[in-house]
Amino acid sequence: MLRHLTLLLCTMICCVSLSQEKSFSFLLKDQIPLISNYIEDTSVSINTLRKVTDLLTNRDITHVNGIRVAKRRKAFIRHIKHLSEKLEENALDEIKINDTILNLIIELEYLKQSIIEKSKNNLAPFPTKKQKVEMSKNTIRSKKLMQYSILPTQEKNANNSVYWKQINEKKHKEFKKLSKLKDIKTKKEMVVIFKKLSYTGSAPKIRTYDLNLDDEWSLKWGDEVHTDIAASRIFAAVGYDVDHPYCYKNGKLMLIFDGTTSINNWEQLKDSIYHIYNINLEPFMLKKGVIDQQMVLANNNLSYYIGDEYVTFIKCGIEARPDRVKRLGTFLPNKLYNYKRLELRGALLLHAFVGNWDTRKENTLLTTVHDGNYNYNVSAVFSDLGTSFGVSFSFIAADFKVGLVNDFSWEVVVKKKNKICIKNPINEFSNSYLNADYNDLRWMAKKILALDSLTLRKCVSKAKWPYPIEELYFNKLASRRASIIKSFGLDDPNPISYDRNLTIIKNGRTIIKKGKLIVDYKKNDNPESFKKKKGRNRNYGY
Amino acid sequence: MDIKRTLIVCLSLLFFMQFFGQGLETQKKFALPENITFEDFIVVTKNQEHFNSFYHSSYLYFDLYIDTDEKDLYEMGYSLRFRKRIFNDSITNYTFQLKDEMTLVKEIRMEIEEKELDFYNIKQNNKWIPLTHALDTIFNLYSKLSNKKDSISFHKNLSLIKEWIKVKSSGAIAPFQRLRYIDSLTFNDNKIKSFVPVLIGNSIRKRAHIYIDSTYTVNEKLKFNRRIKANTPLFFQENLNFNWLFESSLDYSTFVYLKNNETIIIKEYEVENKFINPEKGRDLLKKYEKIMTGNLGMYIKYDSKYKQSIQYFNSN
């Protein structure tokens, strides 16, 4: 009884303070009853706090309820201890719960639940047959589910949170701004060192070290090396945190085998990738050789690797794994009342804008970002946005292919009578997507409206598609943007022109005709193909 | 030894390795012959056969060892200490470390550290003061308790440390977490609450990288010790032909037993395996041990400074 009264009192205190338009990185007022176990006699319960902190920081606790607890890295443990210590002092001083304390508690709860989710996912990293069927079902019923009755207009505004931040100007620079915060440094010519093979995901990839040996990169090949880049930059321009993928072509990325692992050369790598992913990397290889003195003269950083084998590629993608960023589990889209967040509901329309199909919660992340001074900021990340820009799927083979420009429709939203219909199938509906309504999507439509021509052009050009493909994607994005703006009845002060009958002729050969790619463009330079729909028997992602 | 017994020993070893997997170091500890000075030792060890030493830093350590009045940790082969490190007269850091003893058959020491103490506070007269302030006062005063005021301040701050231990006994402090994991019955909340400072002292430490050159590396078919840059000393980033094998510490330590103010001086040389392949590193460490014992008349010892001190004070 006393506990309930206490909780009621705390809720009332906090509701008053939260209603005063204060915004918190984590806390929503609905979440307060969920963390009542952290509260004892109107103060922080030291017993609960220590139990949670112990679970998150004690590496001798290896299992919880029979599940192996995911690896808790040093930086994560350090952040939990900082957080916990602040709360302990409040508890020992018997300070009455206030919204700042609640925000710290809920941050701890997020980190706990994300680690638990990661632990559960580690237990079953590959989708079960049932989950695959569910993905197919969702894909089919997307059209029906994504019809929204037009409601009386309600101007909604999201507060800055761990999930989203308002971007007011220079949206095209936001991706770079985020990368600076994470201390991600790319070069025009990258050199990476083989670290280990990867066994997850469907696209072939490996883990590599940066030449500075502090940071790591995930090196990938295949149909996502352009799409992920454009989609991630568009999400960043709207205010979401993302992964940091980059595309390297024409041998601008060199992979070195430094002889410290069991994979010492290109042949061994190629065989291993074929064994794991059933994919032949040979068409992606440009040059192989041994690091010699001449190469060292051109790049002194290679001196450490004289005599080691290397390989360069026609085309590949790298995704940053900076030392400053520690990846936890999902960002909990279906927990802690996150479905109420406007910034998560609205994201459904942004997925549709870039044509993303794989919206599973596993493609979201909570991360801790070290600010360089032993302080950590938690950030929610939309990860793996590469299954976009024209996706073809086969339900029978559980296969899919992405980046098929002809499958990327000119319109993504249409208004039919009193409904808004989104034309983008997705494979999972989180609670926030299921609960999204017209005004939530309208909020996002306004964010997409704010993406100007420069931003879209920059996002597309960074993906390094060949010129005719880039041009077609730019025109289609402008057209999709216009379809969103029109459907929601918004005024567009800066319309972006596009040509649905775009035709591009190169060296006397028609590449794009009336808005359609008609040739398998430069097959040798683009082994993944922008036309062929056959995937790689990806088994729906695994 | 029959097969079954061998298997059990192997499995136990495997279990042990996993059990202490978070904080392991392989090291050798040598006692210095009485007649050799620190300066002479440094000159002699710079080049010993294929093994070279580059002395790169001087550290000053202050240690405050914690145990129960009955010396439970000592009896069970553990030592627990607050350590303040001063690197080359400038950078300072504080840690709280739990270690176990090295033995003839176990050259791997468990080391569990609460690595940062800067954000912990202790309550004094209703005000939060940093734990490190209390430690600083203790370390500044212990060797010069010349007046009553200093003595009062010293003991007052020791009490604050006792208080911090009491408050944190069930908290997420890495050494306490490990003690509870080792034996939650023995190291229950009351036991940890009863920990008190027992020994204080300082060590002057000369640190060196021990390395071989590229010719010997190639001849012995060894790999280069490549680590992430943050974990690679500048010396090896600048000298790519040198292959980093070990880190050595030459220590001159003085400890005072808080019970009776008796003092002990300990001189020792520690070598820690840093090679990328731990197996190969252990072989190389054995080679180095032979050179040290054969050429310099040193002998292996296993006891920690804490154990040596308590043994000495108990025997006096």
CB-based contacts of B214, cutoff 8 Å, min separation 6: B241, B242, B243
Per-residue tens of pLDDT for chain A, all 542 residues: 445 555 554 554 444 444 444 567 888 888 888 899 999 989 999 999 999 999 999 999 999 989 999 999 999 999 999 999 999 999 999 999 999 999 999 999 999 999 999 999 888 877 888 888 899 999 999 999 999 999 999 999 999 999 999 999 899 999 999 999 999 999 999 999 999 999 887 789 999 999 888 899 999 999 999 999 999 999 999 999 999 999 999 999 999 998 878 899 999 999 999 998 888 999 999 999 999 999 999 998 888 788 899 999 999 999 999 999 999 999 999 999 999 999 999 999 999 999 999 999 999 999 999 987 778 999 999 999 999 999 998 877 778 899 999 999 999 999 999 999 999 999 999 999 999 999 999 999 999 999 999 999 999 999 999 999 999 999 999 999 999 999 999 999 999 999 999 999 999 999 999 999 999 999 999 999 999 887 765 554 44
* CA B118 centroid distance within chain: 20
Run of H or E including A103? helix A99-123
Most A-contacting residue of B96, B170, B243 (CB-CB within 10 A), to test interface: B170
Q: Do the Cβ atoms of A213 and B228 come within 8 Å?
A: yes
Write the CA distances from A166 to A153, A162, A364, A407, integer angstroms. 21, 11, 20, 32
Q: Do the Cβ atoms of B232 and A213 come within 8 Å?
A: yes
pTM (2 decimals)?
0.87
Nearest-Cα residue of chain A relative to residue B225: A260
Q: Do the Cβ atoms of A60 and B178 come within 8 Å?
A: yes
Nearest-Cα residue of chain A relative to residue B129: A89
φ/ψ (deg, to 5) at B131: -55, -40
Looking at residue B88, what is its pLDDT?
80
Q: Count residue pairs from A and B with Cβ separation < 8 A.
A: 58
**Interface of chain A toward chain B, CB-CB under 8 angstroms:** 50, 53-54, 57-60, 74, 78, 80-82, 84-85, 88-89, 92, 209, 212-214, 258-260, 303-304, 323, 374
Most B-contacting residue of A55, A59, A256 (CB-CB within 10 A), to test interface: A59
Nearest-Cα residue of chain B relative to residue A59: B22
Q: Do the Cβ atoms of A92 and B167 come within 8 Å?
A: yes
Residues in chain B within 8 Å Cβ distance of A78? 115-116
Strands (E), A236-354: 241-242, 245-249, 253-257, 285-290, 309-313, 315-321, 325-327
The Cα–Cα gap between B73 and B94 comes to 21
Task: Please report the sign of the dihedral spanned by the C-alpha atoms of residue A396, residue A127, residue A363, residue A537.
Answer: negative
Nearest-Cα residue of chain A relative to residue B231: A214
Looking at residue B142, what is its pLDDT?
87
Residues in chain A within 8 Å Cβ distance of B18? none
Nearest-Cα residue of chain B relative to residue A78: B116
Strands (E), A125-251: 147-149, 190-197, 205-210, 216-220, 241-242, 245-249
Q: Do the Cβ atoms of B172 and A53 come within 8 Å?
A: yes
Looking at residue B103, what is its pLDDT?
76
Looking at residue B143, what is its pLDDT?
79
The Cα–Cα gap between A25 and A103 comes to 8
Categorise residue B297: left if φ over 0, alpha if ψ from -120 to 50, beta otherwise: left
pLDDT tens digits for range B83-112: 999 988 788 899 999 999 987 777 678 999
Residues in chain A within 8 Å Cβ distance of B172? 50, 53-54, 57-58, 80-81, 84
Q: Closest Cα to residue B106, out of B238, B303, B309?
A: B303
pLDDT tens digits for range A177-224: 999 999 999 999 999 999 999 988 778 999 999 988 889 999 999 999
Q: Do the Cβ atoms of A213 and B128 come within 8 Å?
A: no
Looking at residue B17, what is its pLDDT?
38
Looking at residue B42, what is its pLDDT?
94
Residues in chain B within 8 Å Cβ distance of A258? 226
φ/ψ (deg, to 5) at A378: -90, 135
How large is the ipTM?
0.84
pLDDT tens digits for range B220-236: 988 888 765 567 888 99
Task: Please report the sign of the dihedral spanned by the C-alpha atoms of residue B167, residue B171, residue B173, residue B177.
Answer: positive
Structure-block tokens of residue A46? 């030291």
- The beta-carbon neighbor of A303 closest among B120, B232, B240 is B240
Nearest-Cα residue of chain A relative to residue B119: A82
Looking at residue B5, what is its pLDDT?
45
Q: Do the Cβ atoms of A214 and B229 come within 8 Å?
A: yes
Residue A388, min C-alpha distance to chain B (Å): 35
Looking at residue A14, what is its pLDDT?
47
Nearest-Cα residue of chain A relative to residue B170: A50
Q: Closest Cα to residue A477, out of A357, A388, A360?
A: A388
- The beta-carbon neighbor of B172 closest among A54, A213, A323 is A54
Looking at residue A533, what is its pLDDT?
86
- The β-bridge partners of B252 are B204, B267
Most B-contacting residue of A46, A51, A54, A72 (CB-CB within 10 A), to test interface: A54
Q: Under a CB-based contact definition with an 8 Å cutoff, are residues A350 and A444 in contact? A: yes
Q: Under a CB-based contact definition with an 8 Å cutoff, are residues A534 and A444 in contact? A: no
**Interface of chain B toward chain A, CB-CB under 8 angstroms:** 22, 115-116, 119-121, 123, 128, 167, 170-172, 174, 177-178, 181, 223-224, 226-230, 232, 240, 276
Looking at residue B230, what is its pLDDT?
60
The Cα–Cα gap between A271 and A279 comes to 9
The ranges assigned to domains in chain B are: 3-315
Looking at residue A4, what is its pLDDT?
53
- The beta-carbon neighbor of A89 closest among B128, B174, B229 is B128
Residue the block writes with tokens 């591009």: A504
Q: Do the Cβ atoms of A214 and B22 come within 8 Å?
A: no
Q: Do the Cβ atoms of B172 and A82 come within 8 Å?
A: no
Q: Do the Cβ atoms of A304 and B226 come within 8 Å?
A: yes
- The beta-carbon neighbor of A85 closest among B119, B228, B276 is B119
Q: What is the biggest distance separating any 2 CA atoms in chain A, rounded to whole angstroms?
A: 83
pLDDT tens digits for range B297-308: 899 999 999 999
Q: Do the Cβ atoms of A60 and B223 come within 8 Å?
A: no
- Angle, vertex CA A181, rays to CA A351 and CA A254, nearest 5: 80
Q: How confident is the model at residue B12 (pLDDT cuts 50, 70, 90)?
A: very low
Task: Please report the sign of the dihedral spanned by the C-alpha atoms of residue A9, residue A10, residue A11, residue A13.
Answer: positive
pLDDT tens digits for range B36-62: 888 999 999 999 999 999 999 999 999
Looking at residue A344, what is its pLDDT?
98
Nearest-Cα residue of chain A relative to residue B238: A304
Most B-contacting residue of A52, A57, A370, A376 (CB-CB within 10 A), to test interface: A57
Write the CA distances from A499 to A356, A410, A413, A507, integer angstroms. 23, 10, 18, 21
- The beta-carbon neighbor of A84 closest among B170, B172, B228 is B172
Most B-contacting residue of A53, A60, A308 (CB-CB within 10 A), to test interface: A60
Q: Do the Cβ atoms of B226 and A85 come within 8 Å?
A: no
- The beta-carbon neighbor of B226 closest among A92, A258, A323 is A258
**The A325-327 sheet, strands edge to edge:** A241-242, A376-382, A364-370, A325-327
Most A-contacting residue of B189, B229, B237 (CB-CB within 10 A), to test interface: B229
* CA A512 centroid distance within chain: 31
Q: How many Cα atoms sit within 13 Å of A65 on the Cβ side?
A: 5
CATH no. for B3-315: 2.40.320.10
The Cα–Cα gap between A352 and A342 comes to 16
